[in-house]
């Protein structure tokens, strides 16, 4: 089952994360006009990088970032793969204890940061440095929200 997705409309591809163990990122060519979408390729992530429940994309740099539904959460950096090349795993950062179930993600690629929201009570927002080029992402810090501000889901 696909549980996360991002799109690169300029290049005509979408990237879908699965709810599997380990997670899989599938690249799909969208198909111009009335042309049907087609599967391009996939990457199976490392053991423990399970259940990809959130994603953010930096189309200008050519990377996507997938958040896991694990304890603690993991942010996995994936190179999109130019043209019909499949995606490849670049690296990952395991978050701190309690920063679990990364159910939401936003990105500011111009500033080189992403923020992942947890499915915890209370919720936690974790700031991630994207990592230049093929460098892995790194954890910068986090803020724990108030008790009623929990389960930071992205719809």
Q: How far is CA 140 from CA 23, 33, 60, 93, in A?
A: 24, 42, 22, 11
CATH of 2-144, one of 3.40.50.720, 3.40.50.2300, 2.130.10.10, 2.60.120.260: 2.130.10.10
* Extents of the domains making up the chain: 2-144
pLDDT number for residue 150 = 87
pTM of the model: 0.96
Structure confidence by residue, pLDDT tens digits, 106-121:
999 999 999 999 999 9
Mean pLDDT, the chain, whole residue set? 96
What percentage of the chain reaches a pLDDT higher than 90?
93
- DSSP-assigned letters across all residues of 13-72: EEEEEESSSS-EEEEEE--STTPPPEEEEEEE--TT---EEEEEEETTTTEEEEEESSSS
Token output for 119: 């499915």
Q: What is the mean pLDDT of residues 14-39?
A: 97
Residues of 136-148 as b/e, b for ≥16 C-beta within 10 angstroms?
A: ebebeebeebeee
| More confidently predicted of 155 and 33 | 33
Structure confidence by residue, pLDDT tens digits, 63-80:
999 999 999 999 999 999
Whether residue 83 has pLDDT greater than 90: yes
């Amino acid at each position: 089952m696909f549980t996360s997705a991002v799109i690169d409309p300029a290049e005509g591809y979408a990237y879908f994360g699965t709810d599997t163990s380990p997670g899989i990122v599938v690249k799909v060519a969208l198909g111009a006009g009335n042309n049907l979408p087609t599967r391009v390729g996939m990457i199976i992530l490392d053991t423990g990088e399970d259940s990809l429940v959130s994603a953010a994309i930096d189309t200008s740099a050519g990377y996507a970032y997938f958040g896991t539904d694990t304890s603690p959460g993991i942010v996995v950096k994936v190179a999109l793969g130019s043209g019909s090349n499949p995606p490849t795993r670049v690296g990952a950062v395991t978050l701190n204890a309690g920063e679990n179930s990364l159910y939401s993600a936003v990105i500011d690629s111009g500033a080189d940061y992403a923020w992942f929201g947890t499915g915890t009570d209370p919720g936690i927002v974790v700031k991630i440095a994207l990592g230049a080029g093929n460098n892995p992402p790194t954890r910068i810090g986090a803020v724990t929200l108030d008790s009623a501000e929990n389960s930071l889901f992205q719809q």
